[in-house]
Structure 1
């Protein structure tokens, strides 16, 4: 049997690494990590105890073209405050879909990065 410890990282394909870095570093304020000297272009971020790895694929059929679809593949980050996260996204001009009373059992906010990858922010109701 496999004994799981936890999720280590999520990797996403991006078309333009520099554009993606602006979004993740400057808008979402993720902390960049040292990345090994792979031959591919990419960046690693700390997200709490887990990591997000962005890998540049300028020509890729794996990237989405549509808007926010909450039933499509995504990754989710738990945040302390739904209200503060929503206010920050408003201040940064990031479009989102908000579900403050989601049947999931917690409040949800969904955003798109510059390559249309879906990111969910989850928080306790009323936070």
Structure 2
């Protein structure tokens, strides 16, 4: 049996590091942290004690070709403080979103994608709407 302490990090493939850093740093407002000096480019971000690792890999097999938003595609989710402020920020920055405020999950969800099509869910408990 495996006993877990927590989720440590999520890694995503990206094709253009500067474009990805602009999205994750400026649009999603994540804090970039120091990254080891690997022999390939990338960036690391800290999210409430957990990490998101971006890895530049132009021939990745995990980058979606169809960039349409679907909540059923593989994604990672971040809990946000305020649904409406998050939605308004994304709209102000002209980020395409898919809203599911009444999801059966119990979360009010906003889906968006990074420039490579990696899906991100931003959510709050529906009771907080």
Deviations 1:71-108 (A, max 9, x none): 11000001111111101111111110001111111100
Deviation at 1:26, TM superposition (A): 1.0
How many residues matched? 127
Structure 1 stretches of 4+ moved >6 Å: none
Segments of structure 2 that go 5 or more residues without pairing to the other structure are none
Matched, 1:56 2:69: no
Q: Which residue of 1 aligns with 2:124?
A: 123
Deviation at 1:49, TM superposition (A): 1.6
Q: Tell me the TM-score normalised to structure 1 length.
A: 0.95
Q: Which residue of 2 aligns with 1:16?
A: 16
Deviation at 1:61, TM superposition (A): 2.7
Q: What SS is found at the alignment partner of 2:7?
A: coil
Matched, 1:44 2:50: no
Q: Which residue of 2 aligns with 1:68?
A: 69
Distance 1:106 1:59 in 2: 34
Is the CA contact 1:82–1:124 (under 8 Å) kept in the aligned structure 2? no
Q: Tell me the TM-score normalised to structure 2 length.
A: 0.94
